[in-house]
Copies of this chain bind each other. A is one copy, B any other.
Amino acid sequence: MKYEVTDLTKVRRRPERAIYDRDLVHSILDEALVAHIGFVDDAGVPRVIPTAFSRIGEDVVIHGSTRNLLMTTLAKGGRACITVTLIDSLVAGRSGFGCSMDYRSVVIYSSAEVVPDSEKPDCLERIVQDIFPGHRIRDHRENELKATLVLRFPIREVSAKVRDAGCLDVEDDYASDRWAGRFPVSLEIGPAENCPRLGPEVVIPEIAAGLPSRKK
């Protein structure tokens, strides 16, 4: 299954790296911990805010305070650009041009829909389970839910870009005496440090030993 290419998502630079495959887009979104969301504020200034997010089906879902500029601006329905980037390696080439990175990125153009109050608890639970599978939290309180905006952005206009080439030098550079190589980069999530104020009845859950890999 592929996403439709639109004028906005057509990759002009290095189109050979552009991918519109749904499974690939999903896998990049699911592995990432933060998205960088761009919007234009009321004064016309571009702003980019990092934020935790989850993919739920064909939506990117974020949540935040009802007093947060990103949330309140986007709740009005303005355009957003949601960018997610995973760095896979640093490539030291034989020339400046040959120095690069292997990466996987996704860019989504979308506008927010405000998640109605009735769906908020379910949505927030899915966000928690996305990051901490199996983690049990207490029920939300009414005042907490009221203070929280949940926004969903339908994934329709989207492109992924992937570089997975390692060293890629100008042909006549390969015979030279310059060294080249790639340094693998990965995001490591260690085992949990317990909260120093755990209650006496607490059972340490399985995930404390280590979260399951986000790379599927």
Contact = CB atoms under 8 A, between A and B. Distances in A.
Contacts of A85: 34, 36, 50
A5 interface: no
B191 A179 contact: no
A203 interface: yes
Contacts of A194: 179-181
B79 A144 contact: no
Nearest to A178: B138
Interface in A111-160: 124-125, 127-128, 131-132, 135-138, 140-141, 144, 148
A103 B97 CA distance: 32
Contact of A90 (B45, B109, B211): B211
B87 A178 contact: no
